[in-house]
Copies of this chain bind each other. A is one copy, B any other.
Amino acid sequence: MEDVIIIGGGAAGLAAALYCARFTLRTTVIAKEYGGTGNIAHLVDNWIGEPGITGSDLMQKFIAHVKQYKVPLVEDEVLSVSKKGKSFVVKTKKKSYATKTVLFTNGMTHRKLSVSGEQEFSGKGVHYCYVCDGSLYGKKTVAVIGGSDAAALGTIFLSGYAKKVYLIYRGDKLRAEPISAKKVYSLKNVEVIHNANVVEVYGDKFVRGIKLDTKKNIVLDGIFIEIGHIPLVDLAKKLKVRVDDHGFIAVDKDQNTNMKGVFAAGDISNATSLKQFITSASEGSIAAQTIYHYLQKH
């Protein structure tokens, strides 16, 4: 029987694997793909000590480090997690694992606009994380899509870099916190366009512009889609692990969920609103310590 099965192979899962190995736990990681959303980050300048590394290169460094500890990194898809007495059964496409604990680190996806060109230009002008990629757009023209607090905060953030920021929202009143909305309207280099939907992203090698359903065409260099996240909690929910109002797995500061023996770390958890490599890796490390202590006591 495993001490812990880590589901997910991104920053949280890999950091958890490193620390679980250091805590001498019998550990297996299962993921469909290693690197997670990190792989699609074309330029990471927020992993301290590695200026300008690509997401894919950073993830390769993480994977290589974990492999030094001989932790099995299984490429497989988890189909279900179920309780069996005090332990758990993790069923994948290929086999079935018995384990004393389970750590969910299988992350989230960004909600997509689902319009023409969005996928084609992903990472080439289409972005889903302004904290990650906003600084690339110094003196450029960008658009933020959305009306939530995240969209407003993204607009404010980008206005510090970009020459001009469009905020495009389908509704007639921003849903953002009033103070954020007020700030957005006060910024000279921000133009808010209400009651409009993006219908197409176009470009050549990179994004060159977007078309709205109001027939308006906006020439720009980048767009930031801030219309929400989809945490990948199906497996956890079927196990009756509690999620918060936004759909993220609810954890305490030690990464415990509501269920004994089940832990969560990284983007899938609600530990922090700052969804970054550094926070995910930290949460994974903390989860490893918590699991270690849990196993000492049970």
Residues of chain A at the chain B interface (Cβ within 8 Å): 11, 14-15, 18-19, 22-24, 45-46, 48-51, 58, 61-62, 64-66, 68, 131, 135, 153, 156-157, 160-161, 179-180, 183, 253-254, 271-274, 276, 278-279, 281-283, 285-286, 289, 292-293, 296-297
Contacts and interface: CB of A to CB of B under 8 A. Distances in A.
Contacts of A24: 157, 160-161
A297 B152 CA distance: 13
Nearest to A53: B49
Contacts of A286: 272, 274, 279
Given A19-B46, A68-B51, A274 B296 contact: no
B274 A279 contact: no
Contact of A153 (B135, B274, B293): B293
A288 to B, nearest CB: 9
A289 B271 contact: no
A169 to B, nearest CB: 19
B65 A49 contact: yes
5 contacts: A15-B48, A22-B131, A22-B135, A279-B286, A281-B282
B253 A271 contact: yes
B276 A278 contact: no
A179 B11 CA distance: 32
Nearest to A14: B48
Contact of A279 (B62, B68, B183, B282): B282
A23, A161, A180, A279 — most chain B CB neighbours (10 Å):
A279
Contact of A179 (B45, B65, B276, B297): B297
A180 B294 CA distance: 11
Nearest to A66: B48
A121 B254 CA distance: 34
Contacts of A271: 253
A144 to B, nearest CB: 15
A274 B253 contact: no
B18 A46 contact: yes
Given A22-B131, A23-B157, A281 B48 contact: yes
